[in-house]
Amino acid sequence: MYTITGLTKQYRQAKRSVTALDGVDLEIPDGQLVAIQGPTGGGKSTLLQMLGALDRPTSGSISLAGDDLSTLSETKLGRIRATEIGFVFQGFNLIPTLTAQENVEMALVPIGTPRAERETRARAALASVGLAERGSHLPAELSGGQQQRVAIARALVKEPEVLLADEPTGNLDEETRDEIMDLLEGLWRDRGLTVVVVTHDTAVAKRAERRLHIANGKLKDVTTRR
């Protein structure tokens, strides 16, 4: 799925250069559940941005299913983000004035999906995360765990090959955290999705098939569970 070679990312801060990624080499095969841990500022979020085609490296290459994300045009990168990659964030990022159903449908608007199809696919996505009866509810009428389920449904409705989750349980209590991880692990097993989770929570990381650790921009493989 992903092949990364010599990936480096540097930023300018005031008068100095900061290296967020330092020569990262990584392969993630199709259908793997990966957790990435590391200290704040160690490079986790930068790496996830690269995997999500949200930023370009300073040097090195990153390919997704054979497409070199470091060289594609912005138009092609936008298409990949819209169709091949699903994103889940710690803050849910739901539009407060839209219902759960409408929030999920929004993921299909940029790719020109007809309205009737958007509605059908959004209902199916909500059902797949256990919220078939909550489609008409606004985010404020849902619990934190339910809001995150809506966010996962929004990511899934595109039928992506990859699901990228940035601290998806960071705003949840332990019981709800475990429920969300049960859901993500079930989707990984049942659909064969490639899932990458960035987390500070070791209990979450231990659920992954593979654990990576990044610090000072350098990545190492910690363990393979299965």
Domains and CATH numbers, the chain: 2-93+160-221 (3.40.50.300)
CB of 210 closer than 8 Å to CB of 13: no
Task: Write down the pLDDT at residue 75.
Answer: 93
Question: What Cα–Cα distance (Å) separates residue 169 from each residue in 24, 129, 144, 184?
Answer: 26, 15, 10, 11
Task: Write down the pLDDT at residue 211.
Answer: 95
Q: Which tens digit of pLDDT belongs to each residue from 156-168? A: 999 999 999 999 9
Q: Which tens digit of pLDDT belongs to each residue from 46-73? A: 999 999 999 999 999 999 998 999 899 9
Task: Write down the pLDDT at residue 24.
Answer: 95
CB of 85 closer than 8 Å to CB of 111: no
pLDDT band at 225 (very low <50, low <70, confident <90, very high): low
Closest of 88, 99, 82, 86 to residue 148, by C-alpha: 88
DSSP secondary structure code for residue 29 in this structure = -
Task: Write down the pLDDT at residue 212.
Answer: 96
Task: Write down the pLDDT at residue 133.
Answer: 95
- Residue with the two structure tokens 């470091």: 70
Query: Residue 27 above 60 pLDDT?
Result: yes
What's the pTM? 0.91
Task: Write down the pLDDT at residue 224.
Answer: 54
DSSP secondary structure code for residue 108 in this structure = G
Q: Between these two residues, 223 and 99, which has the higher pLDDT value?
A: 99
Q: Which tens digit of pLDDT belongs to each residue from 188-199? A: 998 889 999 999
Q: Which residues contact 199 (CB under 8 A, 6 or more apart)?
A: 35, 36, 37, 167, 168, 169, 170, 205
Q: Which tens digit of pLDDT belongs to each residue from 77-111? A: 999 999 999 999 888 999 999 999 999 999 999 99
Q: Which tens digit of pLDDT belongs to each residue from 111-154? A: 999 999 999 999 999 999 999 999 999 999 999 999 999 999 99
- Residue 140: beta bridge partners? none
Query: Residue 201 above 70 pLDDT?
Result: yes
Task: Write down the pLDDT at residue 59.
Answer: 95
